[in-house]
Structures are given as structure tokens and as C-alpha cells.
Structure 1
Amino acid sequence: MRPRLVSDEVLLDAALLAFAELGYEGASVRALCRRLDISHNTLNQRFGSKDQLWHAAVDHGFKHLVGELLSAVTEAGTDPFDQLRASALRFLATTRANPGLIQIINQESARPGGSRYEYLFHRYIAPINELGLRPLRQLQAEGVVRPGPVSTIFFYLTTYGLGLMGSHPESFASLGDKDVDQEQAAAQAVEMVLDSLRAR
């Protein structure tokens, strides 16, 4: 019987989700191979060790996210508020489609100082922070939005605020809201954030 052909994209999406849900230690490469119905050798030949697979999966997922955010800011034009709104909405749409992106940050941030978290932070988290909050710094300088550390906004947007909506959309139902339109909920949340930022 010929081995089952699975694309690198499918393999890396599945690996990212496994690492995100179970953590690095809990994610078994053999279990992943069984789930995808491929041989252990196939995964080794394509990506090498478990550590190399983790890095490949992270690069695959987060490069796509960075590309989406860059496109959103470019398409929004020159108005900083429009750029901020567009990048927040695209962030939510992208993480909703791939919830493992936020989940893997949460997994690794529980072990700050580790090499995997440092890789995530310096290669993706910090650049995404800079890209997304550049318009906010401009608006602060112009006195349009309230002063304060922009990192506060970054943490709300990417983790337990809007990030939670993207990585755990099933939370709506558990809180009593059934059949929620995800795009409408995202737009409402983003507008609430933007309204709260405006200088009084």
C-alpha cells in the first residue's frame, strides 16, 4: 500500500493545533501521525525532530498572521483609526480561523524565559505589537486618544480580550449567547475598544 500523501500545509496546521491544545510536552508526534494516518518516518523526513516540527508549525501559522495584518493596514489607507480598526478585525478573523495561534502563545507564555517563548516573542509577538500599535502611538502623539502605556491595549487585543474571542469562539454559547454572528461580534468588540481609547 502506498503511503498517504498529506501536504505540508495540512501537517503544519495539525501540528500547530496539537502543540497549542496540549503544550509541547503533551503533544505526541506519534499521536499526530496516527490522527493524520501517516507514518512517523514521513514526519521525520519532512521536518526532522519534534523541536524542528514545533518551529516549522509556528513559522507557518504566524507568518500568515503577520502577512494578513500587513495587508489590513495597507488596505486601510492613511487614517490611523482606520488602520487600527482594520488590523484588529483582521487579527480576529485570522485567529478565529486558526485558534491555535493564540492558544500556543498562552501555552508558552506560562513558561516565560524558555527558548520557545523567546522565539515566539522576538520573532512574532513583538513585531505584531509594533505593527498593530504604530497607529495608536501616532494618535496618542496627536492627543486624539488617551495617554498611557500602549502595551495595555496590546494585551487586551491579543490575549484575554479580543484574543479570547478568536481562540475560543465557543465561549459565546457557554455565556448564554447562542448562534452568534462572529463577524458582528468582532466588529462590536473592536468598536468598543476604539471608543474607549478616544480622549475625553
Structure 2
Amino acid sequence: MADAAAIRRRGRPRAGEELDATRLLLAALDAFAEKGYDGMSVRELARRIGVSHALLTARFGSKEGLWFAAMEHALTKTEHVWREATNSPDLDDLEALRQGVVRQVMFAATHPQVQRIMNHEGATDSPRVHFIVDRFINPLRPLVEQLLDRLIASGRIRPLPYATLHYLVVGGGGALFASPVEARLLGAPDTPDENTIRRHAESVADVIINGLRT
């Protein structure tokens, strides 16, 4: 598997051709979310954002290298969210769990492409799904499980399989934003504002936390 950070450092734009890395990676997320990994070519993506195919190849090495870099760009943010919540000395354990859920759902609102991409990738055994699990999910899992273990040991919540919590939060909480057409047909606003997003995130967190309480 290529190392995404190393790939991002490789190559330089040709004279007169600038590369806005953030814009490019967000465009890559949009493209992979729309067409899936197999349906999107680097050449088509280069046309979409107005840079040369050679530039993308020089910078990221391959389509898979670009996929790794785009996902790492997005998911690094949610990694920080959970580390802040679980390591905060100012938060009670149950409130730390609640805040982690709220922030995860709010992340899903700003990066709905991630869930759409994982809907493609989660059903297929590939280096890409292993990259997500090994790079982001598994390193955070012990922190969340320690939090859950303390809450279970103190009798405050009932036991819950980690995978169940993961999909309730990531899949269930983020589905409203990852499926905008269906959400609109169910009465959700086309472009929810920050207050609407926060209310949804807090409702999801409250349902999960109240369901876990003993």
C-alpha cells in the first residue's frame, strides 16, 4: 500500500500551473463519492478541476494514492474529535461519550462524501477499506472502549458491542447528510444550517446515550 503522506509530497506543479491541495482533495472526495473508486479515473478528475493528468500523477502517484490522500485529509478531523472528547479532563465519562457522538455526526454533515465512499468500500475487501480501519478506526478504538468499560463497570450503561455503536453513530447519525435526496423527501431541509445540524446531532446522541443507560 502506498503511504498517502509520502505520495502527497511527491512531484511539483509545472510552471504556470498551481495546485490547491485542499481544493483538489475535496474535489476527489466528491468524485469518488459520486462514482465510486472504480467509476472515477484520474484523467476525468483532472478535467473536472482544471489541472493536468500528469500533475495529479506526479503528485499522488496513482488513483489509489489520491484516494488515500483525500480520505486522510477528511478523516484526520474526526480522529481529532474523538481524541479531544475521550481525553478531556473536564468531561464526565458519559458526557465525553455524548460529545464524541455529537461531533462525529456534525463531521458527517460537513463531509457527507466520506459515508458515501464507505458505502462503496465497506462491502468489498480491498486495500482501501483496510487503510481506513487500520489508519483511523483501530487506533481510536481502545480509547472509546476504555471509556465504555468505565461506564459499564460503574453501572451507568449496559454493554454494547463496539461495532454496533460504530454503525449507530457513523451510519445512522450521518445518513441524513449522505442521502440528501431521500432526506429531502422525508422533509429534511435541502441545505441545513449549523443550528439544524447541531440539533440533529444532539438528538442522535441523546437517543443513543439514553438507550445505553441502565
Give TM-score scaled by structure 2 length: 0.81
Give 3-state SS (helix, strand or coil) of 2:98's partner: helix
The match for 1:123 is 135
The 10-residue stretch of structure 1 (61-70 or 186-195) with the greater mean CA deviation from structure 2 = 61-70
Kindly provide the CA deviation profile for residues 95-116 of structure 1, in whole angstroms up to 9, marking residues without a partner as x: 21111222222211110x3221
Please give the TM-score of this superposition, normalised by the length of structure 1.
0.86
Hey, what's the Cα distance between the residues in 2 that align with 1:129 and 1:69?
Answer: 10
1:155 lines up with 2:167 in the alignment: yes
RMSD value, Cα? 2.2
Contact 1:4 1:38 in 2 (8 A): yes
User: Is 1:13 paired with 2:26?
Assistant: yes
Counterpart-to-counterpart distance in 1, 2:144 and 2:178 = 18
* Unpaired segments ≥5 residues, structure 1: none
| 1:69-125 C-alpha deviation (Å, 9 max, x unpaired) | 2234445724111111111111111121111222222211110x3221111111112
Would you say the 8 A contact 2:42–2:53 is kept in 1? yes
Measured in 2, the distance between the counterparts of 1:176 and 1:29 equals 36
Cα pair 1:96 1:169 within 8 Å, conserved: no
The verdict on how the C-alpha distance between 1:54 and 1:12 changes in structure 2, with shifts beyond 3 A counting, is same
The aligned amino acid for 1:163 is: G
Q: Provide the identity percentage.
A: 32
Q: Does 1:174 align with 2:177?
A: no
1:14-53 matches, within 5 Å, as: 14-53=27-66
C-alpha distance in 2, partners of 1:139/1:166?
30
1:183 to 198, 201, 213: 198
**In the aligned structure 1, how far is the partner of 2:63 from the partner of 2:166?**
31
**CA–CA separation in structure 2 for the residues paired with 1:58 and 1:8:** 13
* Number of aligned residue pairs: 196
How far apart in 2 are the matches of 1:22 and 1:76? 43
Q: Which runs of 5+ in 2 are unaligned?
A: 1-14
Deviation at residue 167 of structure 1 after TM alignment: 2.6
Is the contact made by 1:146 and 1:197 (CA closer than 8 Å) also made in structure 2?
yes
